[in-house]
Amino acid sequence: MAHDTHAVSIWDLPVRLTHWALAVLVPAMWFTADSSLWWWHTRIGHVLLGLLIFRVIWGFVGTDTARFSNFVRGPARVIAYLRGNYDVKAHIGHSPLGALSVIAMLGVIAAQVGMGLFAGDPYDGATGPLNALVGVGTADWITDTHEWFVYVVAGMIGLHLAAIAIYVGVKKQSLVGPMVAGKGEAEEGVEGNSRASFARFAICAGAAIGVAAWVWFGAWPLG
Amino acid sequence: MTRITKARLIAATPLIALLAACGDNSETEEVIENVASLDVPAEIAQRQDNFEGIGDSFKVIREQLEGDAPDMAAIQEAAGDINTRLQRLPDLFPEGTSVEAGFDTEALATIWEDREGFDEAIQNAVAASEEMMAVAASGDPAAVGEQVGNLGLNGCKACHDKFRVDDD
């Protein structure tokens, strides 16, 4: 650990924007539901749907640290990391354990957003755009699950914040700084992240907005 | 929720998480104080449970209709339950138990501003539930299907549109 470090780029702008949008909009979803602001709840839900779709596509065609193939690794890496046999400063991007947390976080939020699309009752308040695709009983079950699953989402956020606190307290490393500025410290010789391509970003964003809009308008011809 | 309140909430939404975190939302604080200083009338929870029951029974009917062989006895029982529960409603809305008064409810103050209209809306729902009971007893699934629309739209929705917090 005696190596000198230098500032390198770690997170591209689309990853950071997606992250902070989730950080604001997921709590907003809880707030709007708790306050019966259904007009907002259903709209913000579609923004979240678009963000999730964007992040998944970006995970295949985005920059190095954004790609799933570069951070989702086998259990051997995770075990090595947990035993301390993984030099964080020698790598940029998600740690092996952090990678699992990213997948879990995205999965949990996607499950919650996905359930919301089918939730509700047309005779009783707001409904998701795909509510009519399932039967009354199924929609009712999905709605109930959607209601308690928020605690699973909150649990994931709690774990995420706890990990950040552990990094600051024990490892003396700020994870928040790079997620804001995009840059962090790495050992000499470790290269920074690749550059984001605007064309690829535009295609991913267009696809995400397109799918979210398609769902909003009832997912023709499914609906 | 009045238009003005709604507009304010809309304007505030992007900042809501922040405001809540900072405890700087005077409107929220006022409402919290209101609820803390008042005893919450039991009728609020009672009517919410009652509406849950109505919704569950209504779902029983709609779910039966989705199948090939609807259980008419179950539909009849559910229709009777809806009717019984609707008749309890007039007693479950004591004055001043609106969302505007700071309670955790979706009941709008318009209920008491237009109590006659509200009572009339309840009676429309009761009447629709009686029609539902009649067609359920007749054993004709198609007629029950028609009454689902009547009860849902003219009974439930007509009242919700006017007297309950906006839902879309």
pLDDT, mean of residues A99-106: 96
Mean pLDDT of chain B: 84
Asked whether residue B23 carries a pLDDT value surpassing 70, the answer given is: no
CA nearest to A34 within chain B: B104
Nearest Cβ partner for A136 among B59, B166, B167: B59
**Among all residues of chain A, which has the CA nearest to that of B51?**
A124
In this predicted structure, the answer to whether residue B19 has a pLDDT above a threshold of 50 is no
| Shortest Cα–Cα distance, B153 to chain A (Å) | 7
Taking contacts as CB-CB distances below 8 angstroms, the residues of chain A near B52 are: none
pLDDT of A122 reads: 87
Q: Is the pLDDT of residue B87 over 80?
A: yes
pLDDT tens-place string over residues A18-67: 999 999 999 999 999 998 899 999 999 999 999 999 999 999 999 999 99
Which residues on B lie below 8 Å from A24 (Cβ)?
A: 17
Taking CB atoms and an 8 Å cutoff, what residues of chain B touch A125?
160, 167
- Residue B168 binned pLDDT confidence (cut-offs 50, 70, 90): low
pLDDT value of position B31: 56
* SS3 readout for chain B: CCHHHHHHHHHHHHHHHHHHHHCCCHHHHHHHHHHHHCCCCHHHHHHHHHHHHHHHHHHHHHHHHHCCCCCHHHHHHHHHHHHHHHHHHHHHCCCCCCCCCCCCCCECCHHHHCHHHHHHHHHHHHHHHHHHHHHHHHCCHHHHHHHHHHHHHHHHHHHHHHHECCCC
For residue A17, pLDDT beyond 50: yes
> Contact B66/A135, CB-based, under 8 Å?
yes
Q: What is the CA radius of gyration of chain B?
A: 19
- The answer to whether A46 touches A54, Cβ cutoff 8 Å, is no
Q: In this predicted complex, what is the ipTM?
A: 0.71
The predicted pLDDT at position B75 comes to: 97
Comparing C-alpha atoms, which of A202, A213, A2, A212 is closest to residue A89?
Answer: A2
Residues of A with Cβ-Cβ distance to B17 under 8 angstroms: 24, 27-28, 31
pLDDT of B94 higher than 90: yes
Give A 85-144 residues with CB within 8 A of chain B: 121-126, 135-137, 140
pLDDT at A99 (0 to 100): 94
* A161 has pLDDT over 60: yes
Closest residue, chain A, to B164 (C-alpha): A125
At B32 the pLDDT is 54
Tens of pLDDT, residue by residue over B115-164, are 999 999 999 999 999 999 999 999 999 999 999 999 999 999 999 999 99
Which residues are bridge partners to A7 per DSSP? A185
- Residue in A37, A38, A41, A131 to test binding to B, most B beta-carbons within 10 Å: A37
**Cβ separation of B160 and A125 shorter than 8 Å?**
yes
In the predicted model, what is the mean pLDDT of residues A170-179? 92
Contact A124 B10 (CB under 8 A): no
Instruction: Identify the CA nearest to B104 among candidates B156, B21, B43.
Output: B43
Out of A76-85, A206-215, B55-64, pick the least confident. A76-85
Please judge whether B168 and A126 are an interchain contact, meaning their C-beta atoms are less than 8 angstroms apart.
Answer: yes
The reported pLDDT for the residue numbered A175 is 94
Burial level of B117, CB count in 10 A (0-12/13-18/19+)? middle
Cα separation, B144 vs B130, whole angstroms: 12
Whether B11 has a pLDDT exceeding 50, the answer reads: no
Q: What's the average model confidence in pLDDT over B1-9?
A: 44
* Interchain contact, A38 vs B166, CB within 8 Å: yes
Minimum CA–CA partner of A37 in chain B: B167
pLDDT in tens, B98-120: 999 999 999 999 999 999 999 99
Element holding A184 (H helix, E strand): strand A183-187
B9 part of contact set with chain A, CB < 8 Å:
yes
Torsion sign over Cα B32, B36, B41, B47: positive
Q: Is A183 helix (H, G, I), strand (E, B) or coil?
A: strand
pLDDT at position B10 over 50: no
